[in-house]
């Protein structure tokens, strides 16, 4: 077979598209979902428990945990988290709890959350949270069985 300019041009055009969709076998998913190194989109996770809502964290009040930087609205919240991160950190590293229950990871938004048995669960969106709420105990059992193997 003779390689022509057309073959080279086709390969050059196809290579970036192929790379974009190729599985990343070498790179495991990080244990904590963080955008630009910031966990939970910069929300103060203690606020879910104390204020019953997502609260924006202050970039000047932080704590590094599990390879991510966590932001807090107050030094009191940061200190509470630092004393017992497992109590406040979202389950499944902050990845979508519904996605983990289905065998994969997905990002989350601070507004799609639930506290069940004193544990914080986040979801991809409020519509996915509604799906999650249809069988929370079943989804938690499935997610627990899948975690952390879904990280690859």
- Mean pLDDT of the 60-74 span: 98
* Domain-terminating residue out of 60, 89, 118: 89
Same domain, 95 and 114: yes
My answer on whether 95 and 84 are in the same domain is: no
Beta strands in 87-147 (DSSP E): 113-116, 119-122
List pLDDT tens digits, range 112-141.
999 999 999 999 999 999 999 999 999 999
| The domain boundary residue, chosen from 44, 66, 89 | 89
C-beta neighbour count of 85 within 10 angstroms: 14
Is 150 a domain residue?
yes
Neighbours of 25 (CB within 10 A): 7
57 plus 78 within the same structural domain: yes
What pLDDT, on a 0 to 100 scale, did the predictor assign at position 3? 52
Residue pointed to by tokens 């952390």: 148
Q: Which residues contact 64 (CB under 8 A, 6 or more apart)?
A: 70
Full residue range of the structural domain in which residue 62 is found = 30-89
Please, how many CA atoms are within 13 Å of residue 68, restricted to the half-sphere of its CB? 22
Per-residue model confidence as pLDDT tens digits over 76-124: 999 999 999 999 999 999 999 999 999 999 999 999 999 999 999 999 9
Assess whether 71 and 96 both reside in one domain.
Answer: no
Q: What are the tens digits of pLDDT across the range 12-59?
A: 444 444 344 444 444 689 999 999 999 999 999 999 999 999 999 999
Query: What pLDDT score does 95 carry?
Result: 98
Peptide bond into 74 cis (omega under 30): no
Number of domains within the chain: 2
Domain boundary, last residue among 40, 58, 89: 89
């Amino acid at each position: 077979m003779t390689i022509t300019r057309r073959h080279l041009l086709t390969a050059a055009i196809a290579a970036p598209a192929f790379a974009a969709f190729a599985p990343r076998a070498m790179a495991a998913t990080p244990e904590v979902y963080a955008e630009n190194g910031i966990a939970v989109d910069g929300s103060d996770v203690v606020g879910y428990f104390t204020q019953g809502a997502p609260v924006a964290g202050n970039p000047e009040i932080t704590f590094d945990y599990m390879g991510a930087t966590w932001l807090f609205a107050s030094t009191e919240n940061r200190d509470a988290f630092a004393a017992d991160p497992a109590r406040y950190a979202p389950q499944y590293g902050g990845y979508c709890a519904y996605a983990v229950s289905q065998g994969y990871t997905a990002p989350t938004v601070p507004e799609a959350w639930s506290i069940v048995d004193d544990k914080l669960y986040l979801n991809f969106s409020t519509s996915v949270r509604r799906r999650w709420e249809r069988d929370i105990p079943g989804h938690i059992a499935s997610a627990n069985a899948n975690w952390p193997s879904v990280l690859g």
